[in-house]
Structure 1
Amino acid sequence: MASGLLRTFTGVAKCARFGVQGPLSMRMASTKTMTVRDALNSAMAEEMDRDDDVFIIGEEVAQYNGAYKVTKGLLDRFGERRVVDTPITEMGLAGLAVGAALKGLKPIVEFMSFNFSMQAIDQVVNSAAKTYYMSGGTQKCQIVFRGPNGAAVGVGAQHSQDFSAWYGSIPGMKVLVPYSAEDARGLLKAAIRDPNPVVFLENELLYGESFEISEEVLSPDFTLPYTAKIEREGSDISIVTYTRNVQFSLQAAEILDKQYGVSAEVVNLRVIRPMDVNAIINTVKKTNHMITVESTFPSFGVGSEIIAKVMESEAFDYLDAPIQRVTGADVPTPYCKELEDFAFPDPDTIVRAAKKVLSIE
């Protein structure tokens, strides 16, 4: 027995020496990880447990467990009354769900892609977003529209648009854009409880990504406020971004630090509407330089709105250089993988923009 213990601890020591996680060191570590997919799934399951009025509706959400397996296991757990498969008709399923919300239920509508929400834009915008105002505050519409948004890999121009700016321009609508598992879980639970209509824009390429989470995040009572989060503290330049571009911005910040000695602050917006303007103002005051990063088209985008907010606030007086936007290309998204890669931000394009703002050769 003693020799067995000696071998175990010798193995752990070797693992630690070479930076490898051995079996025992894995058990001793307190850090937990969760994928974005599991974060979304658990958030919906807990809110359905909490409130019998919450139900899920969409194409293939039930028997197929969701096109991206985000609703996996929910049909078996809650049954056909609360996990509802529909025909391929976004206008129909969204209209049915909005009607249910107007009668007091709390639907979660899954669009297989937010590009398909264009088929239901009248239901989302005219019926869901505007009814509370047009009824003089007497008729609420508690509903969440969620699903993958923006480009994936090789899905063509008609399936690759980012709708952050589209829906962010609509009064009466809240628009959330999670990055991490913590974001996904906390923001989705908050959205489901929100008495207002919410558009919840996920990123398909983040579904399988794992993130460290705390015990607090696993609590059934965990929700997040609609505020931005500083993912990395910095003092020289602010990178304001959201969803998958947070990942690229963090990588760019590492490059800026190691190669140029630049301390970059990375701000994860998490919310497009209502935008956390105070967080944007505060980071500009801190670093005096800013770039924005998004995968939308450059015209009339989220970055344009952020810059306008800065220009219209006291933050403008703190700027030492013009703000630069890093965006998607001003073309329909290419199908060809090599061209598609050129069409969207990556760490290198973010670094170039930061160097330009800081006048680094």
Structure 2
Amino acid sequence: MGLEAEYSRERVFNTPLCEQGLVGFGIGMAAMGHTAIAEVQFADYILPAYDQIVNEAAKYNYRSGGQHSAGKLTIRAPCMGVGHGALYHSQSVEQLFMGVPGLKVVIPRSPIQAKGLLLSSIRDPDPVIFLEPKILYRSSVEHCPVDDFTLPLSSAEILTPGKDLTLISYGAPLYTCAQAIEMLRNPSSTISAHISPHLRTASIELIDLRTILPWDRETVVESVRKTGRCVIVHEAPVTAGVGAEISAHVQKEAFLNLEAPVERVGGWDTPFPHVHESFYKPGPTRILDALVRTLTY
């Protein structure tokens, strides 16, 4: 708010609601050396611009042999479910970009993370897709520093250390993962009343990926080698999701350390529903079940 008044309409302006056009415009600005931040109002509507992003922005540096680049382009887009967005306003599209060399994909979990990661994205030499979980706009509160600061891209953060299981997520589902861990430890919870007492003392290592392309393989593999168990959570469908890529790499690099199959918890393989979004998204009960299955395998 107030950006146009502070920086003028020369730098801050609305565009027509044409995603292919506004992203293409941003690529052109970046190619000319300007810093361009393009906002797609909902990540669901980034698909008309998919050709521009994949075939132009991501390849511009490579195809010119490093002479030209669209690396000064950052594309912001709200993503994930908000409770009433339905099939065109609640989708998670990050997995559509995981196989695109030349891009970076970042998803913050909180205001401080959003500011530090966004400033890093804007200054990064590669074009960045910056996906903001929309449900956190009004539910995630922090005292965010007003000073300029950055947080490293492609560097996962261990939120709670542990030794018995590695729980991996990013964005809004991290808070649901924390709920599931609390339910596991809480004997008074009716949902988890059946859980054996020895499981309640399990030490869970919760990791926020922050960047999913390229993701922090070293931190994840080191954690799984230590714990021997791994659960991955995301809102996007399980099939061909972020969890599929991570689990494939984990079993390759930490196969001899695994005590259980890598478990994935995600959205169902259906379009995002019109109603009952909470039944589609991975809730704390589904995550808790995955933790128990993995710990007791």
Using the size of structure 1 for normalisation, the TM-score is: 0.76
Aligned partners of 1:271 and 1:219: how far apart in 2?
Answer: 23
Match of 1:183 in 2: 113
**Matching of residue 288 in structure 1 with residue 240 in structure 2:** no
The equivalences for 1:2-41 within 5 A come to none
Q: Which sections of structure 1, spanning at least 5 residues, go unmatched?
A: 1-71
- 1:142-173 per-residue CA deviation (whole Å, 9 max, x = no partner) reads 20001201222222212222111111211100
Do the aligned partners of 2:95 and 2:241 also contact (CA within 8 Å) in 1?
yes
CA distance in 1, matches of 2:126, 2:103: 7
Q: Is the 8 A contact 2:156 2:209 kept in 1?
A: yes
Deviation sequence 1:91-145 (CA, Å, 0-9, x none): 1111111111111111000000011111111111111011111111111112000
Q: Whole-Å Cα distance in 2 between the matches of residues 87 and 219 of structure 1?
A: 33
Distance 1:306 1:110 in 2: 28
Structure 1 vs Structure 2 CA RMSD: 1.5
The correspondence for 1:198, drawn from 108, 125, 128, is: 128
Alignment match of 2:100 (pick from 170, 184, 195): 170
The equivalent residue for 2:148 is 220
Give the Å deviation of 1:232: 1.1
Confirm or deny: 8 A CA contact 1:232 1:250 kept in the other structure. no
8 A Cα contact 2:156 2:208, kept in partner: yes
2:8 matches 1:79: yes
Q: What are the residue-to-residue correspondences of 1:178-327 with 2, within 5 Å? A: 178-212=108-142, 217-259=145-187, 260-313=200-253, 315-327=254-266
**Is the 8 Å Cα contact of residues 292 and 325 (structure 1) preserved in structure 2?**
yes
Equivalent of 1:88, from 13, 17, 40? 17
The structure carrying a bigger helix percent of its residues is 1
Residues in 1 aligned to 2:233 and 2:161: alpha-carbon distance in whole angstroms: 17
What is the DSSP-based 3-state SS (H/G/I as helix, E as strand, rest coil) of the residue aligned with 1:202?
A: strand
Report the residue type matching 1:297 in the other structure. Answer: P
| Alignment partners' CA distance in 2, 1:352 and 1:332 | 24
Deviations, residues 65-115 of structure 1 (Å, cap 9, x unaligned): xxxxxxx11111111011111111111111111111111111000000011
SS of the aligned residue for 2:267 comes to: coil
Contact kept? 1:227, 1:276, Cα under 8 Å: yes
Percent of aligned positions that are identical: 35
Deviation at residue 244 of structure 1 after TM alignment: 0.4
Instruction: Give, in whole Å, the separation in 2 of the partners of 1:224 and 1:317.
Output: 31
- Kept after mapping to 2: 8 A contact 1:257/1:263: no
TM-score for both structures, normalised by structure 2: 0.92
Amino acid at match of 2:26: A
CA contact (8 A) 1:234 1:264 kept: yes
Which runs of 5 or more structure 2 residues have no equivalent in the other structure?
A: 188-199
State the secondary structure of the residue aligned to 1:85.
coil
Verify the 8 A CA contact 2:153 2:211 in the aligned structure 1.
Answer: no
Letter in 1 for 2:151: T
Q: Which amino acid aligns with 1:160?
A: S
Query: Residue 356 of structure 1: SS of its match in structure 2?
Result: helix
1:218 CA displacement = 4.3
Corresponding residue pairs, total: 284
